[in-house]
Amino acid sequence: MTDLPSRTNLMDLDREGMREFFAGMGEKPFRGDQIMKWVYHRGVSNFEDMTDLGKVLRAKLNELAEITPPKVMTEQISVDGTRKWLIEVQGGAVETVYIPEPTRGTLCVSSQIGCMLNCTFCSTATQGFQRNLSAAEIIGQVWLAAKALEHCRKTNRRITNVVMMGMGEPLLNFDAVITAMGLMRDDLGFGLANKRVTLSTAGLVPAIDKLSAAADVSLAVSLHAPVDEVRNQLVPLNKKYPIEQLMEACKRYLVNRPRANVTFEYTLIKGVNDDLALADKLVKLMRQLPSKLNLIPFNPFPGTDYQCSDEDTIKAFQHRIKSKGEFAAVRRTRGQDIDAACGQLVGKVADRTRRQAEHQSKLDLKSGIGIPVQVEHAA
């Protein structure tokens, strides 16, 4: 028996892809625009509810296409109003976080199930890596959050900013992330301004250059240290793309963006990267290009040897940066009681990298068990 061809998930398509799809069906390309409005402005995923489409077209769509976002498995709400959703995707789950503030609402979106990079201060890194998410699974997180927040119409926008800072390294899932960020910014999608969509990278230099040509979004860099010796320890990717190369890539990114800046993310870890001599070196880096600094108190997780810098050290580090004329803000921990803070997202990963087993072995040795736990791995 011949398998029936799979239907196209229209959430995988940007505006150009949607128009091409309808042209391929023998329909007018503007039908794609209609579908986008139904999906992203009204939150509708059933063709039968799209009342300005004829019955014949709805029948064709039911045969050839689908609108299938991922599914919410659980929702947790922090005492500070932060929300975290565990979202089911094929073969696993990812986490998405919404952070409400008085003047904006920021959604933190995942791009991979797990993460390929082994940053030593990040809980997500201990989960290993399974696969990249599809564009539908990425934009679907925004769609689900919008529905959950009763935000399906532009007149009642609650999501004002989206940051690609959830699970995964976005630039290692380039094509799907570009498509999804396009839908976030498209007037027929969620209509966010370019500057309100931010991609955060650990520093994949060639992909930063590729991003510059593909999308006009805000760039954030997970820096965490101003010298290679320390950054190599925290962000192993730095051994391949050291700080000098990373800074040059950031400068190139800003060449055609005269009003933009780069945001450097800097997790403060006690005794590792929080002394004032490093703050002075960080200032020298920041002066190379328009930039601002987000200081993030380290969020501990089981098995880590790192500790958060104390409050006086954090204040002193921030003051040193600001005293030199550079912008530095402390990003206060949000959603820590539901493990939604920066570096705490873990999801559900069928680990292909064996990192889960390695981390569990370390935990067992610390607790005196000394017997590694066997973990099933995806093929």
* Dihedral, 69, 72, 78, 81 alpha carbons, nearest 10: 40
Instruction: Determine how many CB atoms are found less than 10 A away from the CB of residue 11.
Output: 26
Cβ-contact 285, 226 below 8 angstroms = yes
Is 342 one of the annotated active-site residues of the chain? Answer: yes
* Dihedral, 193, 195, 201, 207 alpha carbons, nearest 10: 80
- Catalytic one of 108, 115, 308, 342: 342
Which residue(s) pair with 88 in the sheet?
71, 93
Strands in 262-268's sheet, in edge-to-edge order, are 71-77, 83-89, 92-100, 105-108, 161-164, 197-201, 218-222, 262-268, 291-297, 328-330
- What residue spans of the chain are helical by DSSP H? 15-24, 30-36, 55-64, 135-148, 174-185, 205-214, 228-234, 243-254, 276-286, 311-323, 355-367
Nearest CA to 164 among 136, 148, 141?
A: 141
CA-to-CA separations, 57 to 6, 24, 47, 169, in angstroms, rounded? 18, 13, 9, 39
State how far the Cα of 267 lies from the Cα of 133, in Å rounded to an integer. 26
State how far the Cα of 265 lies from the Cα of 218, in Å rounded to an integer. 13
State how far the Cα of 228 lies from the Cα of 252, in Å rounded to an integer. 21
- Catalytic one of 95, 137, 169, 326: 95
Is 152 one of the annotated active-site residues of the chain? Answer: no
Catalytic residues: 95, 342
